[in-house]
Structure formats: structure tokens, C-alpha cells
Amino acid sequence: MLKRSSLDPTNVPLNVLHVITTIEFGGAEKALLTLVKAQVKRGLAVSVIGLKGNPELREFLIQSGAKYISSVSNRPFILQVLEVRKRVGDFDILHCHLPRAEILGAIARRATKLVITKHNSESFYPSGWLLLSRAMSYFVAKRSYRIICISNAVKNFLEEISEIPKNSDKVKVVHYGIDAQFNAERTFSLKDTLTIGTISRLVSQKNLEFLIDIVLEFKSLKRKIKCLILGDGPDKEKLQDKIDRCGLEDDISILPKSPNINQFLSQLDVFVLASKYEGFGMVLLEAMHSQIPIVSSNVSAIPEVLGEDHPGLAQLGNVHDFVSKILNLAKPQFSTSTVELQNKRLHEFTVNSYESRIFDLYGIGNRN
């Protein structure tokens, strides 16, 4: 593989290597898949490395026209560094996503431009010492050509905890994008049983036990409700145990991860995101795309995505506020008006805008 800079740039495509911690069905990973598809469509030569875990998105990446480098996955970290360092000279851009990939890229980059994307409103090393986390993040930042934050909320958070430099020209905000061609228009009607649901990793951040509280409140109001949770994660057993203890096994179902998001979303009357914080919330774009009214915590990047005036923004952890807004948005007239509002909002998050902003930040005309 030849670097674009070594030959006539009109004849050789820009070579981009994306490195990400996992390529499982998560928000950051699906955003990367969206970006890769758009970059291949532009004419870039794109390769992807997933460092660990089950390569659930591998075939989707290959189908998009990208090359997936499997020889690096699930190896000891030092061997991964050495392998990437051997390969990186063939690429114009080394674009790393999530902390493990970021630190690997900062060590392995050699003379290749390092671009990192910050996907989470979390410290670099959330389970470790703050000073160590800050030192690791600054090491990566210093060796990076660009630092892309997926929302202003992520940028502001990381600046506040001193993990990225403040007021730096290398730090830019680029929102995720999605294909803005909407699914078929939905017709809303009152139903005897209301179906709500979410798509999520089963972790504390997502506040999924709160969905159990919502269902309990509906039952206390003598309202029929079904709650579907699509996802997997370390809190699955704990969550299922609480569901069973509350006698809600017929009312709440945890479903395995699936690439068929549209089929899952088509079952819902209202999409609910109860998270304690979100770096962006790719699932919000997916629910908007599928014409589902959304009720969500009014925290971090969520109002940045939905808009400050979205009628489904609810106070974090307030059961009565969530239930009130779910019941309101389940009414046909409010479902329709909310989806119309979401459709207008979705036009601000197109895949073309997402890819073009990142392409511009690669600095093709500036190879210093």
C-alpha cells in the first residue's frame, strides 16, 4: 500500500487506518461504520482494526468496501502496538477511537498524522487515579494532529477535568450523522397496551433499573405496559434479578443484541433513554430515523441532539416526570407532532455533514 503523499494525489486515494477498542454493536462502533461507509464512497482507501472483543461489525465493514485487519485483534497490548507500528507507515491518517485505541495510536503513530475521536463524557481512565488518567489523556492529546469531540458536552466535560487542552485549535466538535432518508411514515393510535423500549449496553451509566421503576409506576396507575430492552452487558444478571423480584418478568424483556435495529424499533410506541449521561446518544438518531417519539433524560449531550425544546426531555431519575411525558407522547396528536419535530432536527445530523467535517479536519493539504 502506498501513501497518497508519495505519489500524485489525484491518482492515489487517501489511506486511512481506523483503530477502535471494539467493533461490537455500540454507539461509537456504529458511528464508525457510518463514517467508514461514507469515506469509502468518497474514494478513500479505508482499513479498520478492532483491538478486542467479538468482531460483530466486521462483515458490515467489509461489505462497505473497507479492509478489516484481523491479525491485531485480541493480542497482548504490546504486540498490538508493535503490529500497528509496523503497518502505520502505509497510511496517511491514523484515526483512533476510544481510550485503548488512543493510547496505542499515540505510541505507534511514527510520522503518520494521528486523529482521535472522543466518544464519551468520561475520563480517559475512569477506574484509575485522576492524575494518571489526566497524564495519559494529555500524552495522547500532545501527539495528536486533531482531537474530535462528538458533542459540545463531551468537549466541555473533558476540558473541565483537564483531559484535553482548553481553547486549542486542534480540538473540534463533530456530531454523528445518519442517513436522513426516513422510514415510512407511521400512523399513531391509542392502544390498550403501551410498548416502550430502549437500546443499550447493560451498564450503570444507562440507568436501566430506572425503567423498572417506570413500569412499576404504570402498574400502580392500572395502565398496561410492555418494556423491551435490547442489549447486553455486565449488569444483565443484576437487572434480570430485579425484574424477577418485582414480579415483572411478563412486563419487561431483555432481548439479545441484534443488527436489525429497525425491526426492534418498529415495535415501540415510545423510545425511552434514561441515561445518567451521554456523550451523544447514537440511539437517539436511530429512534428519530425510525419515526419513534422519544422521552429522555435532560442531561449532557441529549438536549444537544434532540433540541432544547423537545417535549420528551425529562428530569433525570424523576419517575413521575418520565411517566407523564411517556403518556403524553403516546397520544396520537402529540406522537405525530413530536416525530415531525424530530424529523426537522434529524436534518442537522446527516452522514454527509459528518463525513465531510472529518475529511476537512484530516488536513489533506497540510501534511506537516
Tens digits of pLDDT across the chain (368 residues): 445 544 444 555 799 999 999 999 999 999 999 999 999 999 999 999 999 999 999 999 999 999 999 999 999 999 999 999 999 999 999 999 999 999 999 999 999 999 999 999 999 998 878 899 999 999 999 999 999 999 999 999 999 999 999 999 999 999 999 976 655 567 676 788 999 999 999 999 999 999 999 999 999 999 999 999 999 999 999 999 999 999 999 999 999 988 889 899 999 999 999 999 999 999 999 999 999 999 999 999 999 999 999 999 999 999 999 999 999 999 999 999 999 999 999 999 999 999 999 999 999 754 43
161 to each of 126, 204, 232, 302, how far by Cα in Å?
12, 21, 30, 20
Of the candidates 170, 197, 182, 199, the residue with the CA atom closest to the CA atom of residue 326? 197
Is 188 a member of any domain?
A: no
Is 151 a member of any domain?
A: yes
Please tell me whether residues 69 and 217 are part of one structural domain. Answer: no
Please tell me whether residues 62 and 105 are part of one structural domain. Answer: yes
Q: What is the pLDDT of residue 258?
A: 86
Please tell me whether residues 203 and 66 are part of one structural domain. Answer: no
> Helix, strand, or coil here: 273?
strand
> Helix, strand, or coil here: 198?
strand
Is 187 a member of any domain?
A: no
CATH code of residue 267: 3.40.50.2000
Amino acid at site 244 = D
Q: What is the pLDDT of residue 12?
A: 58
Angle formed by the axes of helices 99-108 and 77-87, nearest 10° = 50
Please tell me whether residues 149 and 271 are part of one structural domain. Answer: no
Backbone angles phi, psi at 193, to 5 degrees: -115, 125
How far apart CA 110 and CA 176 sit, in angstroms, is 28
Please tell me whether residues 167 and 211 are part of one structural domain. Answer: no
Cα torsion angle, 150, 153, 156, 157, sign: negative
Is the entire prediction scored with pTM above 0.85?
A: yes
Is 367 a member of any domain?
A: no
Rounded to the nearest 10 degrees, how much is the dihedral formed by the CA atoms of 88, 92, 96, 102?
60
Q: Domain of residue 261: give its range.
A: 193-346
What beta strand segments (E) does 93-219 contain? Answer: 93-97, 113-118, 146-149, 171-173, 193-199
- Burial class from Cβ neighbours inside 10 Å (0-12, 13-18, 19+) for residue 11 reads exposed
Contact residues for 228 (Cβ-Cβ < 8 A; gap 6+): 195, 196, 197, 198, 252, 253, 255, 264, 267, 268
